[in-house]
Amino acid sequence: MEYKIDRRKGYSPQISFLVSQMDYARKTTLDSVKGLTSSELDFLPCEGANSIGALLLHMAAVEKGFQIELFDERRPNEQEMTEWGAAYSLGEEGRKNIKGYSLEFYLTKLDEIRRKTLQEFSERNDEWLFESRVWDNQPSNHYFIWFHVFEDEINHRGQIRLIRRILSEKNKS
């Protein structure tokens, strides 16, 4: 992997730059979870916290939600809400339902979702990326919304690193 925001084959110029940033954010996320066991992925550092596994599935759920909203131009259906709702919302439902999975499970979900995003990006151009729309009741565009996807991932990656530090200290005791 190159540490460059640069043109990527198969994408328009600005989408290339977005993909470069998303790829780097994902690489550092994957590095931060390397080698974790199921019990480490399920660890809750305190009451009301999210596990690393839940945060990983949340990253996939956020991206899946924007795929539905921006690529399919619709709201999630009942089946999608059942499959992704706990991961999207996190909280008590996430703590109750997102546990017992291997690292491979989470990595596969992240990869499947990202591959669809990249495929969809390859079919769009910079004009689409800058298309105006309303998001969260604010004027926005597709570029900002996809920026939010990896900005959210970076935020949760910081939480993952903190939880790993807590786990490391706990294992020393």
pLDDT digits (tens, 9 = 90+) for 10-32: 999 999 999 999 999 999 999 99
Q: Is-contact 131 21, C-beta < 8 A? A: no
User: Which tokens belong to 131?
Assistant: 């298309």
Q: What is the mean pLDDT of the segment spanning 106-119?
A: 98
Q: What is the mean pLDDT of the segment spanning 44-62?
A: 95
Q: Give, as one character, the DSSP assignment of residue 46.
A: S
Q: Is-contact 21 144, C-beta < 8 A? A: no
Nearest Cα to Cα of residue 83 among 70, 97, 100: 97
Q: Is-contact 142 129, C-beta < 8 A? A: yes
pTM summary value: 0.94
Nearest Cα to Cα of residue 10 among 172, 96, 136, 118: 118
User: Which tokens belong to 40?
Assistant: 């480490």
pLDDT at residue 1, rounded to an integer: 65
Q: Is-contact 45 166, C-beta < 8 A? A: yes
Q: pLDDT tens digits, residue range 133-166?
A: 998 899 999 999 999 999 999 999 999 999 999 9
Q: What is the mean pLDDT of the segment spanning 165-169?
A: 90
Residues in the chain: 173
Percentage of the chain modeled with pLDDT above 70 = 98
CATH topology of domain 13-172: Four Helix Bundle (Hemerythrin (Met), subunit A) (1.20.120)
